[in-house]
Chains A and B, each alone.
Chain A
């Protein structure tokens, strides 16, 4: 079990999760903070016994492992951060072709599946824009403003794809026929009586 936990942490260290699109508020462990796994196994059997008095576990050399990695990581960190930020920023744009394809598949008729797809496609950019603040926290570096703009732009493009889909399904009230039910019957200025045989 310790092995698997270690693996989890090492795997998640320094890399953002790729499972969901950018903007998901998952906790990413900042690579500048090193968690020493020894902390997990700190157990005090006796009060007053210091950690360093206990012998290390079998197969573990406390002096060897992380010092070099921390050095290399601090060099790569900024590059990685930038890369990560770009990834986050470009994620919405990358989704757009996929959205296009999904929209084309779902067809122009008005039935349950296209509506579901449409709603989903609308909701994702909207949610991203609303939660953009928390996403922006993860974007840093010298390109940060541009990346933020790109992120927003990507969401806007996704929204416009959804709007285009709406338009091609005929859901946008752009035609006079959509406002027909608001038209009142014409008032009559003269009154005709009689007219029976």
Chain B
């Protein structure tokens, strides 16, 4: 029941931003909320909001959200029951029914002392199309960016934005250069190999000679000695 004022505020903010973006219909901000499993419809609570311009690819931003004891209990109960913890991101110019969502195990969140690692995947236009949440490895360097130490009262989050890789094209230039180089080498090799026979093939002649010496020695030696 504590969620109602929050939800009301969320709706107001959404309406407000809709008004602002009415002329252009380009998303200005993305809001991130977290939800816990309950029947079919998830009850989500807003955590934070980012503006689309501030989302730079491969950069991490942080947020912190004060957890009320009730929320903490909910999360811990969910973790005990082995349930899931959802995260939802919504663009402010979309309807309520259009959102992107992902989840992880609630136990992961509790085990990582309420530090979330959120990954937002954005497309070529800078618009997020998928979200991901998971625990953060204690050795992760991004933890240094956190403004405060992880504690039981706050939910800290690291939001990393990932873009799309550019697919490689067939490397025709490199191949052509390689062919040219090989041709040059072949030309050089043809003209320069005029050392003497012995110096070219010494590595085959020497072992043969040694071998013959040895086997001669072996047969002659034991016979003479014993």
Please give the number of chain B residues whose Cβ is less than 8 angstroms from any Cβ of chain A in the complex: 8
How far apart are the CA atoms of A18 and B207 in the complex, in Å?
27
Contact B226 A105 (CB under 8 A): no
Query: Which residues on the B side are within 8 Å of A101 (C-beta)?
Result: 210-211, 214
Chain A, Cβ-Cβ closest to B225: A18
How far apart are the CA atoms of A87 and B218 in the complex, in Å?
15
Q: Name the interface residues of A1-57: CB closer than 8 Å to any CB of B.
A: 15-16, 18
Q: Name the interface residues of A95-111: CB closer than 8 Å to any CB of B.
A: 98, 101, 104-105
Chain B, Cβ-Cβ closest to A87: B226
Binding site for A on B (CB under 8 A): 207, 210-211, 214, 218, 222-223, 226
SS class, residues of chain B in contact with chain A? helix
Contact B223 A105 (CB under 8 A): no
Binding site for B on A (CB under 8 A): 15-16, 18, 87, 98, 101, 104-105
Known: A101-B211, A105-B211. A18 touches B226 (CB 8 A): yes
Given contacts A98-B218, A104-B207, list 10 more A-B pairs with CB under 8 A: A15-B226, A16-B226, A18-B222, A18-B223, A18-B226, A87-B226, A98-B214, A101-B211, A105-B207, A105-B211
How far apart are the CA atoms of A15 and B222 in the complex, in Å?
13
How far apart are the CA atoms of A105 and B211 in the complex, in Å?
9
Closest approach, in angstroms, between the C-beta of B105 and any C-beta of chain A? 12
How far apart are the CA atoms of A15 and B226 in the complex, in Å?
8
How far apart are the CA atoms of A104 and B206 in the complex, in Å?
13
Q: Which 3 A-B pairs have the closest CB atoms?
A: A18-B226, A18-B222, A101-B214
Chain B, Cβ-Cβ closest to A16: B226
Query: Which residues on the A side are within 8 Å of B210 (C-beta)?
Result: 101
Query: Which residues on the A side are within 8 Å of B223 (C-beta)?
Result: 18
Chain B, Cβ-Cβ closest to A104: B207
Query: Which residues on the B side are within 8 Å of A87 (C-beta)?
Result: 226
Chain A, Cβ-Cβ closest to B207: A105
How far apart are the CA atoms of A105 and B226 in the complex, in Å?
28
How far apart are the CA atoms of A87 and B226 in the complex, in Å?
8
Contacts A/B (CB < 8 Å), 9 sampled: A16-B226, A18-B222, A18-B223, A18-B226, A87-B226, A98-B214, A101-B214, A104-B207, A105-B211
Closest approach, in angstroms, between the C-beta of A118 and any C-beta of chain B? 18
Closest approach, in angstroms, between the C-beta of B194 and any C-beta of chain A? 29
How far apart are the CA atoms of A25 and B69 in the complex, in Å?
90
Chain B, Cβ-Cβ closest to A15: B226
Query: Which residues on the B side are within 8 Å of A104 (C-beta)?
Result: 207
Chain A, Cβ-Cβ closest to B208: A105
Query: Which residues on the B side are within 8 Å of A98 (C-beta)?
Result: 214, 218
